[in-house]
Amino acid sequence: MQHSVAILGGGVAGLSAAHELAERQFQVRVYERKPVLGGKARSIPVPGSGTQGRAPLPGEHGFRFFPGFYRHVTDTMRRTPYGPRGNTYENLTVATRMLLARAGQTEITWLARCPRTLDDFRVFLLQLLTPFGVPQKELAFFVSRILTIATSCQERRLAEYENLSWWDFIAAEKMSKTYQAYLGQGVTRSMVAMRAEESSTRTVGTTQLQLLTGLISEDRVFDRLLSGPTNDVWIDPWTRYLEGLGVEFHRGAGVVEIRTDGTCVTGAVVSSGGTLAEITADFYIAALPVEVMAALMTPGLKKAAPSLANLDKLQTRWMNGIQFYLCRDEPLVHGHAIYLDSPWALTSISQRQFWTGVDLSRYGNGAVRGILSVDISDWDMPGVLYGKPARECTAEEIKEEVWAQLKQHLNDNGAAPIQDANLVTWFLDPSIEFPNPGEAANAEPLLINTAGSLQYRPEAQVELENFFVASDYVRTYTDIACMEAANEAARRAVNSLLLASGSSAAPAELWPLEEPKFLKPLQELDRIRFKLGLPHHLGFIR
């Protein structure tokens, strides 16, 4: 008997669940409220930008970031055909450098992989010799905090670090302004999209450790980027493959109600074109963002699935992108640029250098030769141009403010890569909605794991017999709001569904986070200390 599954949501989690189920011969229907699939990972054609038969310029919610510790989503990409004999994983390119840009100061180029070439060693030595501005004593303390995380057992991380903010863990309040800005706020919010003042030490510390492992391991990478617009090289080939497996996609169908009899989900109501319709299936997977799922939690649904009752206590923040289209390409660095002093916590990628097979002259008006894709991670701090936070600015003001912050960081020491004459046009993520009295609204915020929030996050298997959840708020090894967590959560939901349906199909594979093997004896020692009620041997300075 072929079981039917309704997947509510067509982002990365929904597509990942559909992939695993379709390959196991389930009848799958996906319902997505937007007219396009891919969720936050999709690329977005810039409306009205294509002229004389050219394709619209490629915009996006924010640039794609595939760290080396991603294994679930990259496994799915390896299983997604692309071209005559390839797969979409082959469209990932390894970044080799990272730029730390500081306002009015010399930029620092860091190696973004374990040294492999003579030039890699040159860059590595230069980054050691370049003054960073953080006092040596404070830098040593920060390193000791990373080592503490690295040598702590999982039990301590869960019991102690989950309820402690990263800001307190690294004792930022007692340190210099430079320490707070660079090591406390800058790197944390730029690379993990979290605020050090409120985010869980367990989550931030574990993620920082994974990123660092990618930098020092010969067999790992720090960062990978797609070789073209996201839809072209990933999402569209993926959805075509799933359609070939029999998956039905219902676009423009947003979920407005999930119905239950207290034991099972009996149906879901979707809105499509202003018309309401009830859909039914044997099993249901909710692959919806936390703010959408929380709004669907009726008293009856909370009673039937109490593990979902506290979703409204989980917090979200804004992390949205803006693209600047240039008539002359400015590569900046072969990887991410982090703007350490930017009040809006900017990071950027110069896309053209990674899009080696893409002819940008075939997009827009034909004049674009480079794309600088910028993510804004802090929407609450006043900017340098208008003195207002991003959420209180108009779209034009956001563009001018981001452009000004880029100039402040990059146009120094005789260099001026950010020039007004080089800007053809720009595009702000349409999830930022205008007008809205007083400030902008964000239709697609990002979950953040605040200290102590794990208690509100469910497993993929909830109390209802035929209903499962797959989203980045689900408890996973990955633990942060990203494509990898969404894919992992989908696999967990599918595995629970396989058990509930009595299927004999093999479960979807799951991978715990890997840490350097040399740390294991120290983590085991800490496990003994933890069980004896003793603190970590490195102590903790408050």
Number of domains the chain contains:
3
CATH number of the domain where residue 53 is located: 3.30.9
Is 289 in the same domain as 435? no
3-state secondary structure of 504: coil
| Domain range enclosing 29 | 4-33+252-316+445-501
Separation between Cα atoms, residue 420 and residue 347, nearest integer Å = 19
Does any domain span residue 171? yes
Separation between Cα atoms, residue 334 and residue 537, nearest integer Å = 39
Separation between Cα atoms, residue 167 and residue 176, nearest integer Å = 13
Last residue of a domain, one of 408, 423, 442: 442
Separation between Cα atoms, residue 94 and residue 225, nearest integer Å = 6
Give the length of the chain.
Answer: 542
What are the C-alpha distances in Å from 450 to residues 36, 194, 500? 31, 9, 32
Q: Exposure pattern of 344-366 as b/e (b: 16+ CB <10 Å)?
A: bbbbbbbbbbbbeebebeebbee
Using only the alpha carbons of the chain, give its radius of gyration: 23
**pLDDT in single tens digits along all 542 residues of the chain:** 689 999 999 999 999 999 999 999 999 999 999 999 999 999 999 999 999 999 999 999 887 889 999 999 999 999 999 999 999 999 999 999 989 898 888 888 888 777 777 787 677 666 665 667 889 899 889 989 999 999 999 999 999 999 999 999 999 999 999 899 888 887 776 555 677 889 999 999 999 899 888 877 777 788 899 999 999 999 999 999 999 999 999 999 999 999 999 999 999 999 999 999 999 999 999 999 999 999 999 999 999 999 999 999 999 988 899 999 999 999 999 999 999 889 999 999 999 999 999 999 999 999 999 999 999 988 999 999 999 999 999 999 999 999 999 999 999 877 889 999 999 999 999 999 887 656 677 778 888 899 999 999 999 999 999 999 999 999 999 999 899 999 999 999 999 999 999 999 999 999 999 998 999 999 999 999 999 999 998 875 44
Is 261 in the same domain as 325? no
Does any domain span residue 233? no
- List CB contacts of 212: < 8 A, sequence separation 6 or more: 146
Is 323 in the same domain as 281? no
Question: pLDDT value at position 541?
Answer: 43
Is 354 in the same domain as 428? yes
Last residue of a domain, one of 442, 462, 490: 442
What are the C-alpha distances in Å from 90 to residues 48, 82, 214, 233, 335? 31, 9, 19, 9, 18
Instruction: Answer yes or no: are the C-beta atoms of 420 and 414 closer than 8 Å.
Output: no
Does any domain span residue 465? yes
Instruction: Answer yes or no: are the C-beta atoms of 484 and 211 closer than 8 Å.
Output: no
Is 163 in the same domain as 267? no
What are the C-alpha distances in Å from 471 to residues 24, 102, 277, 285, 478? 21, 36, 24, 10, 12
Is 327 in the same domain as 419? yes
Does any domain span residue 200? yes
At residue 218, what is the residue type? E
Separation between Cα atoms, residue 293 and residue 289, nearest integer Å = 6
Does any domain span residue 461? yes
Is 375 in the same domain as 289? no
Does any domain span residue 168? yes
- List CB contacts of 470: < 8 A, sequence separation 6 or more: 13, 14, 16, 17, 285, 286, 287, 460, 486, 489, 490, 492, 493, 494
Is 433 in the same domain as 470? no
Does any domain span residue 535? no
Question: pLDDT value at position 542?
Answer: 41
Strands (DSSP E) contained in 9-96 are 27-32, 43-45, 58-60, 81-82, 86-87, 92-94
Is 336 in the same domain as 296? no
Which pairs with CB-CB distance under 8 Å and at least 24 residues apart come from 155-160?
Answer: 155/527, 155/530, 155/531, 156/526, 156/527, 156/530, 156/536, 157/202, 157/205, 157/206, 158/202, 158/454, 159/530
What are the C-alpha distances in Å from 172 to residues 68, 177, 293, 323? 28, 9, 35, 33
Separation between Cα atoms, residue 244 and residue 514, nearest integer Å = 34
Is 415 in the same domain as 383? yes
Does any domain span residue 531? no
Separation between Cα atoms, residue 510 and residue 501, nearest integer Å = 20
Is 331 in the same domain as 295? no
DSSP annotation of 387: S
Is 64 in the same domain as 29? no
Question: pLDDT value at position 318?
Answer: 87
Single pTM value for the model: 0.94
